[in-house]
Structure 1
């Protein structure tokens, strides 16, 4: 994710017209998390095409790092002098190495055991014990992308456990792998290797782009925009009040307690209304 973040920074630096321009003149290209990213850019066709091209390049980068032993697993970090206690975060049994994480870990084996029955018979006898042999054998039947897809989602799961403390779930990884493979089969005419799934080719998807902007309130009014964030029991909410000219009037933010994301959003709305009443903004005067 660090490489992806740097790649996006480089892209927006070299092509500043991609950036979403805000009235505050603060340019934020993206927000990166352990296994997720939010990208802010102009909603134009040219900008979308350029960003899509950059994302396609990054999807191939994981395979390249696998080939050159550049993924920062514990064994690779030790080779670079960063020594410390090592354990595979997915099985909590063996030391984390490149081969163990993707091929010998019990978690990864379970992922493979759930995926293989979904494929047709001619894929059942292909090897899955070393990335090079694995890629070579799958390449012979023009399915070399599949080991890369599985490795990608295993790596994302590992990072989510490492940086966010999430629980590794075999079902979640296999679902991501299956869904991604079905998408590239449907939209890119990739060979269908699934036993009991046929893409709905009769459905045509027409994509359209629209620019969503903040709309100011009528003259003499104030508008409050609120938001809530919820993650594993931790929650926070906030909001901002603006006038008809788009000028900032006041804002608020606070940690809170909620059972889920919906309740967090409702708490943010509650505090916006309460603040409006306490500050005599004219609400409920009629």
Structure 2
């Protein structure tokens, strides 16, 4: 749609006689210029900064995206990457553009306020999901995916695998890794659902209402159960919910250890769990939750919960 200039921006709709009730024809990023497709995706100062960070993440040089889609496509196609990395780069650009449009829709229709860091996180997460779908035989070092792609290895399943600490679930099972985190200012949680081949099926990241990291971990478990219900999961695969906190894990195993002040939370959790097919809890090994740790750290700085599944 970008290539043929058929994206339904406000300017596009106005030129076709659509009356926008209670919506001003301005860019949601800068709130000054008209919302034209070239400005929304490439020319707005906010988006120019976004693309600069994306290009720096891929370490493809100091590229400037300030034209139309044709110039953007030419720029992306001519970056100095080769082989698998070039293919992954081109694949990742589609969900990155898609993330810009989805963020725009949330700002226009839901009145949400999205920061640059949130937009970057969403685009990286969607790019990872698309890469996994397009390259079924590709193993990605998830921890380095978020930090530095130049150091991130992309190996074939048929070659010597990259060193990973995450443990695959048994055959016929899914694993939902979850985590909660707390700082002096805020708390957040995150979760990633993967199948027996390590393919990401669902994820969430965002703030949670908790006073410490242990209760944030419980909040992550409750959100996990909610996501499973929202997905409408019904199938032969059973689900392992793997958590980081030994304290929270002990609470799940032994009701006598649960703090009395949090009995309402545990009651709600058990009620929600009863609505889900068989779920088993386990404790994550050290460094076995890297992708979730990243999403949890990001979730602390978000204003709303981000959820996605396929």
TM-score bin, normalised by smaller chain: 0.3 to 0.5
Structure with bigger RCO (C-alpha 8 Å, 6+ apart): 2
Q: Between Structure 1 and Structure 2, whose CA radius of gyration is higher?
A: 1
TM-score, normalising length from structure 2?
Answer: 0.41
TM-score of the superposed pair, with normalisation by structure 1: 0.44
